[in-house]
Structure formats: C-alpha cells, structure tokens
Structure 1
Amino acid sequence: MAKVLVATDKPFAAVAVKGIREVVEGAGDELVLLEKYTEKQQLLDAVKDVEAMIVRSDIIDAEVFDAAKKLKIVVRAGAGYDNIDLAAATAHKVCVMNTPGQNSNAVAELVFGMLVYAVRNFYNGASGTELKGKKLGILAYGNVGRNVGRIAKGFGMDICAYDAHCHAQVIENDGIRAVASTADLFKECQIVSLHIPATAETKNSINFELMNSMPKGAIIVNTARKEVIDEAGLAKMFEERPDFKYMTDIKPAIDAELAAKYPERYFGTPKKMGAQTAEANINAGIAAARQIEDFLCTGNQKFRVN
C-alpha cells in the first residue's frame, strides 16, 4: 500500500477531494490530506513517509525532496509546473508530471471575460466596441490556445496563431490562419492572447518592440506567466501608447504603479484565477490521482516533465 499526499495550501473543492480519494483508495492506497497549511515545516513533516504527492501551486523545492525519502512521483494538478524544482526532483529520482488540458477551457473562458471588459472600457459607461471582426493573435497553440481559438470563432473574430513547436498545418486544420513568427503575429493583430510557458527563451520576450508593433487599439491578455513580459517595456508601452490596454491573470511587479496610473487601461485579477472553476478543479485533481495510480501500477510516465 502506497501513501499518497495531497498537499495544497489552496485546497481542492470537496467534490474534487472525494474523487481523488475514490481513485486512490480504489487502487488500494492510502490518501493523506495537508490542506491550508501555513508553514513550510508542516509540508516537510507531511512528506517524510509518502510515495506520491499531488500539489497545485505549492512550492516543491530541494528541501522538500530532501525530506521526502520515499517519494517516487509528484503530480502538479494543472499545466504549469514552474513551482517544482525539476533538477532537484531528477537528482532524487522523482518523476514529476503535470495534467495538461484539464483546466484549458477555464483559462480560455477567462481570456474572453477580460477581453469583453477591455473593449467595453472597463464598464465605465462610455460606448465601447465589439470583439466581432477584430483580429486576434494566439501565441502558442497548445491546449489553452486551441480553446481560445474555438471560443473566438463564436465571437466572429479574425483569428491567427503562431507556435514555434506546433506545425502550421495543425493550426490551419482548425480553421485558424498560421503566421510565420511571433513578430508577424504582433504586427498583424490588434489583440494578442499569450499562452507561452516561462522558459529561458521566453522570459522577457514580450518586449516594447513587439508590443509597439501592434496596430492602434492594441490589447494584450496574459493568462500564461508574468515572467514572459518585459516589465520595463510594458511600462514604456503604457507611457507612449495611450491606446494600449493590458489585461492579466498574473500581476506584474509593477502592478500597483500601473493600477494607479492607468486604471482604465490596465487590469489584473486579485489572484491567479485562470484555473479557478469547479470543473477545472475537479478535472485536474482526479486526473492527477489517476496518473499517480497508473505510474505506481504500470510505470506509465506519459506526462513526465523532468
């Protein structure tokens, strides 16, 4: 019998925990919960005798791996996994997985919630515009990007996309025009939705030059990672382009400054909200449990990221 720990300072919904428990206990394993913990020591104590762990945005670093002597697998319930030290995991021979696609629709719907808010002038009473007919650029055509494209069709938008790791024909097969580069995407599109991960290549890659190449009335929506934005360039964009709006689910370091200076052109959600739906919460948690049991039973490493 393996011991599976769910360690979440921001807990899963009760129905998600119920589903996780059914998967784990149905496989003959033991489920342990550590919810709403307030100190790292609580996490370090909890991992000492577990073979598997499910986390959300919790920081799983080298110290945690050092404490988890029996740990074999960690699954991040969600797509992003930059909260987990992959090098430390590999050094400790721990498999790290994510659950791609489980919260994609939730994130994509948030994109359009923020977009409608933006084009309607933050609901300030003044006449706004519509999304229909506007050109939307999707940067990275993964699970979230594809859902953004699907929803955008319903709004009647003119859609194009670029992904360095996705063949153009895949994009075209979905009825979306593929462009040749990130630069082309920004140059053509009045609205750009970001879905790139934070990597050595992408950090600070969305710079002033790119943003400033956008047409008049430019809007950028970032539900990906704050690190991909060059914040100095973002500040300069606000100063030099009074037509520019930035909507984000991940507040930049200069959030307070932007919110004070540009209250009708900048919006950041109070907390990261992309995956905060009941459906995404349930889907990701249960998927994580199933991946753990499959790994423990068969060694399946399909979603391994380290």
Structure 2
Amino acid sequence: MATKVLIATDKPFAPVAVNGIREIVEAQGYELVLLEKYTSPAELIAAVADVDAMIIRSDKATKEVIDAAKKLKVIVRAGAGYDNIDLQACTDKGVVAMNTPGQNSNAVAELAFGMMVYMARNFYNGKSGHELKGKKIGVHAYGNVGQNVGRVARGFGMEVYAFDPFMTDEQIKAAGATPLHSAEEMYEMCDYVSLHIPATEKTKKSINYELLNRMPKGAVLVNTARKEVIDEEGILKLMADRPDFKYISDIAPDNAAEFAQFEGRYFFTPKKMGAQTEEANVNAGLAAARQIVAFLEHGDAKFKVNK
C-alpha cells in the first residue's frame, strides 16, 4: 500500500503550490490526498484515519486529530508558527511535528512595511503624514522574519535595533542591527516596534500597558506575530491614555470593535495575512513536501519542533 500524504487546508494552497507538492510526493511513489475548504473538525478527523504524513497551514491539529491518525508519522505546518499543533499529543503518539521556517519571512516583512507606510501617510487620505526615514525601529525577536524586517528597514533609511535573548550580540550585528539587551530598553528608544515573538506561556500578554507606555511620543506598534502576545485590555487603556499611540496588526484582536473610538490610530487586516502571497504559499508548501520525503526516506528531522 502506497504511503499517503494528506494536504489538509481550510484555506487552500494556490493551485501551483498543490501541483508542486503533488510532483514531489508522487515522484517518491507516495499517494497525495486533498482535503480543502472543509467546514468541521469531524471532516479532518475522518480524513487523517489512514495517512502517513500530513501538511497543514493554520489548521488545528488537535489531540483528537492526532489520536485519530493511527498511521501518522510526520506532520508539517507550512509556515513558521506551530501553536496550532498539539505538540504533546504528537510526542505521545511518536509523531514528528515540523514547521518550515523562513519560507514566509519576506512576505511578512513586506506586509509589515505596507501597513507602516499606510499608517504613516494617514491611510492616504490626502493629509500630511510622516516618513519612515531616520526613525528608530526595534525588532522584537530577530529570527527569519525579524531579519527581513531589518533588511527592508535599512532600505527605508531607518535605524534598526533588535532584542532577541536567543542570539548573541555578534549574530545580531552580523544580521544588520544594533543589539539591545532588554525589551524595556528597546521600547523606550524606538519609534516603531515590530513584533515577531511566538505565542508561548511566557510571551502571552507580555506586550502590556507598562511596556508599551515606555515608547516615545507618536510611537507605533506593529504586530505580525500572534494576537495572544498582546494584553488587549492593556493596549486599549494605553490608546485611551495616550492619543499619540498607534497600533497596526495583520490579525484583529478579540476586542477589535472597542478600537473604533480611536479612529485613525489603528489598522487591522481582515484576516491573518502575513504569509498570504503566492510566493510564500508556494515556498512553504514545497518545503513541507520536501521535508516529509526527507524524513520518511532518510529520517531527516532537522525542523522538528516537538520533543
């Protein structure tokens, strides 16, 4: 019986990405199975019953899904974030969970700057705005996406600073930024802060009133990470206390309706769309397929994210 690889995507890959994945999978003699635009978790649970490998995007790989996948050996999240996978369930079942770091990085960085320019120029409403050149930008977490943000920021003529406790000063300098040694230091000095931290127990709601209130007058917070890292009540309080503060994000907070009182000082895209480009779509999908083949054929677990 052929090895089965499932693509389970509520938000489907672009057709060109699916075709590329199919070529990689079928060249290895595997069978590709598609589940697209499904409407209930039950459909996903049914689809995983006899598959050996699985590619998802923002889809929820819950314990129920993992438990139902009796033959599953590897699951790959086509993208960087993997908080939609129950890692403990994977570990308990002996399933390797992976992500595809770096494949969406440029797309996210370009969106961050698209939103920054949109805000700086007052949503293109004809009124005088601001330039990014000469402004200080702090990049909170300087991994793949953060470094792309730094690269684009330098093109705008911004001063680039980074805080990342998992990198040395030398690594940050080599990647084109000035290293800082605490979040507090960065927020105090930077006109813009771009968030790229994952949503973990330590980081959830860590971007709070006290931290953001350190930012200079006219400061802008840019969030293309996760909404869970924001203390939503805290940022609302800050917006009320500081008429100069602005917030832009590619994912609306749960309390988005409450921001209506701050017209002109916030912008949220209709859905999470940092990676929503055809190029990123293809890159992440093909990377996921190649990683599955490398793991099943050679045991290569380079991008494993569970223990």
The alignment's TM-score, normalised by the length of structure 2, stands at 0.98
Q: CA deviation at 1:140?
A: 0.3
1:277-296 aligned within 5 A: 277-296=277-296
Q: CA deviation at 1:205?
A: 0.7
Q: Does the residue aligned with 1:242 lie in a helix, a strand or coil?
A: coil
Taking the TM superposition and a 5 Å limit, the aligned residue runs for 1:211-222 are 211-222=212-223
Aligned ranges for residues 1-306 of structure 1 at < 5 Å?
A: 1-258=2-259, 260-306=260-306
Displacement of 1:124 after TM fit?
2.2
For residues 98-131 of structure 1, what are the alpha-carbon distances to aligned partners after superposition, in whole Å with 9 as ceiling and x for unaligned?
Answer: 0000000000000000000111112222100100
State the Cα deviation string for residues 212-255 of structure 1 (Å, max 9, x = none).
10001010000001111111110111001100100001111111
Take 2:33 and 2:25, find their aligned partners in 1: how far apart are those partners? 10
SS for the counterpart of 2:221 is strand
Q: State the alpha-carbon separation in 2 of the partners of residues 108 and 174 from structure 1.
A: 15
Q: Compute the displacement of 1:39 (Å).
A: 1.6
8 Å CA contact 2:150–2:176 kept in 1: the answer is: no
Unaligned runs of 5+ in 1: none
Query: CA–CA distance in 2 between the matches of 1:13 and 1:85?
Result: 26
Deviations 1:80-109 (A, max 9, x none): 011111111111111000000000000000
The whole-number CA distance in structure 1 between the counterparts of 2:112 and 2:166 is 22
SS of the counterpart of 1:4? Answer: strand
Give the Cα–Cα distance (whole angstroms) in 2 for the partners of residues 204 and 43 of structure 1: 31
Instruction: State the 1:280 CA deviation.
Output: 0.1
For 2:104, the aligned partner's letter is N
* One-letter amino acid matched to 1:290: R
Instruction: Out of 115-124 and 154-163, give the one that drifted further.
Output: 115-124
Listed one character per residue, the Cα deviations across residues 121-149 of structure 1 (whole Å, up to 9, x for unaligned) are 12222100100000000000000000000
1:155-214 alpha-carbon deviations (Å, 9 max, x no partner) = 000111010111111111233111111100000101000000011111111111110100
1:263 and 1:269 mapped to 2: Cα distance?
A: 15
Cα deviation, 1:3-32, whole Å, max 9, x if unaligned, reads 000000100000000000000001111100
Output the amino acid matched with 2:292: I
Equivalent-residue separation in structure 1 for 2:285 and 2:78 (angstroms): 6
Deviation at 1:263, TM superposition (A): 2.1
Quote how far apart the aligned CAs of 1:256 are. Answer: 1.1
Which residue identity lines up with residue 37 of structure 1 in the other structure? Y
Structure 1: distance between partners of 2:185 and 2:123: 28
Q: Provide structure 2 residue ranges, at least 5 long, that are not aligned to the other structure.
A: none
Aligned equivalents of 1:32, 1:296: Cα separation in 2: 17
Structure 2 SS opposite 1:227: helix
Amino acid at match of 1:134: K
SS at match of 1:153: helix
Distance 1:54 1:205 in 2: 31
Amino acid in the other structure paired with 1:235? L
User: Partners in 2 of 1:96 and 1:2 — Cα distance?
Assistant: 18
Residue 98 of structure 2: SS of its match in structure 1? strand
Amino acid at match of 2:298: T
Separation in structure 2 between the aligned mates of residue 66 and residue 172 of structure 1, nearest angstrom:
45
Aligned-partner Cα distance in 1 for 2:12–2:264: 33
Distance 1:209 1:190 in 2: 16
1-structure distance, mates of 2:213, 2:124: 25
- Counterpart AA for 1:36: K
Q: Secondary structure at the residue paired with 2:267?
A: strand
- Amino acid aligned to 2:219: A
How far 1:41 moved relative to its partner? 1.5
Distance in 2, Cα, partners of 1:132 & 1:101: 26
Q: Percent identity?
A: 64
Amino acid of the residue matched to residue 303 of structure 1? F
Q: Distance in 1 between matches of 2:176 and 2:82?
A: 30
